[in-house]
Amino acid sequence: MTAAPTSLATLLQKHARAALRISRADQTAWNGKVVEAGEGILGLAHWDGTLHLDRDCILDPLQEMYDRSGEHQSEAALIRYREALVTLLHEQSHFLGPTGSTQEAARSAFKLLGGRHLEEGVAEAWAHDSLNTYIHKLGIDKVAPGITETRSQPSYAAFVPAVRLLTADLDRQAQLPPGESLRLLNRQTAEGQWSTVVNLIYHSSRLSQLVPPDQEPAARFHLEEALRTSFHALETYEPFPRGFATSRSHAAGTRLITLLHQELATAEKHYDAPTSPALNHSRQRPATTSAQPKAAIHHALAGVAPPTHQPSPQTPSPSPSPSPSPARAISNSRSPTSDLSL
């Protein structure tokens, strides 16, 4: 067993390997470099493989944690350490991927409709769920006693609730252990995340048995298109306080899943009908066959719609919620633009 880090320097050397092990991903794109982040950036997984970390909110608290190793500390101090560590894990999540994945392909996919929204929500949800395992793996529970008993609030409130609802539904429909869909998505880069979602939905429904093989690619495409559009609309809630954004994301995610099941049932009926034109397509008219999945899937999933108006932040939410702490409020872990200004 590798010795646990005893300093910030050794933590930064070993933290990525620990993230790779607990995620069970095939590879990490981290290049081994850590630099101090620019103004306004908490943490950033740069497309060139370099990890950028804020001095005040990440590096200094972790240095203090090792300087005071083994001491019993206040809850406020433990929360600061925990928030620094969850940012570290979140950023390493962005570097994880399957064998052969590249940052170039991941960056292209990240810029597509709904790409950033799903990846950031998955990274944040997984990092919070896995943080105590990460802490144990790195021996930090001995360095900062009590840190596994404290809790911190997730960032990306506009995305995380919807991601949690979607992945929990995928687990149920695909009969997977709780949390497995989230873990599967976390092992993918942005290039493979939405196709993984569609694969789980498609094969846990009757579409995989009903849709003619030559129409399957188009059916999958239109299903993915509808889901991406709905997730992209979640960015409407990003500017708002955490409590408001959380409640709206949860409501949008609930509506998405309800409508998704209704429209999948409609599509299944379409393909299951004995006289369905989808089952009597002519091989001499490929244009007609390619149009069938759009009628059955894309048209049906038009009900899985994004918000149609800009919500007011004054709209009452279930209960008042504090604004994000400064440490997590400035998080900007990835940029969809080609050139990052750091």
Residue 270: per-residue pLDDT: 87
Lowest mean pLDDT among 208-217, 250-259, 311-320: 311-320
pTM: 0.84
Q: What is the pLDDT of residue 294?
A: 52
Write the burial class of residue 341 (CB in 10 Å: 0-12 exposed, 13-18 middle, 19+ buried).
Answer: exposed
> Are the CB atoms for 227 and 297 separated by under 8 Å?
no
pLDDT tens readout for residues 157-171: 999 999 999 999 999
Q: What is the percent of the chain with per-residue pLDDT over 90, rounded to a whole number?
A: 76
What local confidence, expressed as pLDDT, does residue 304 receive? Answer: 53
Q: Where are the domains of the chain?
A: 8-112+120-154, 205-304
When pLDDT is cut at 50, 70 and 90, the band that residue 297 belongs to is: low
- What pLDDT sits at residue 330? 38
155, 329 contact by CB (below 8 A): yes
Residue with tokens 């982040």, as numbered in its chain? 37
Q: What is the pLDDT of residues 220-267, one digit of tens each?
A: 999 999 999 999 999 999 999 999 999 999 999 999 999 999 989 998
In this structure, the number of other CB atoms found within 10 A of the CB of residue 186 comes to: 25
Q: How large is the average pLDDT for residues 7-26?
A: 98
DSSP label at residue 71: -
Cα angle 94, 253, 201 (rounded to 5 degrees) comes to: 75
- Tens-place pLDDT, residues 134-190: 999 999 999 999 999 999 999 999 999 999 999 999 999 999 999 999 999 999 999
Average pLDDT, integer, range 319-334: 40
pLDDT for 341 equals 24
How far from the centroid of its chain's Cα atoms is residue 279's Cα? Answer: 37
Alpha-carbon distance of 327 to 249, in angstroms, equals: 22
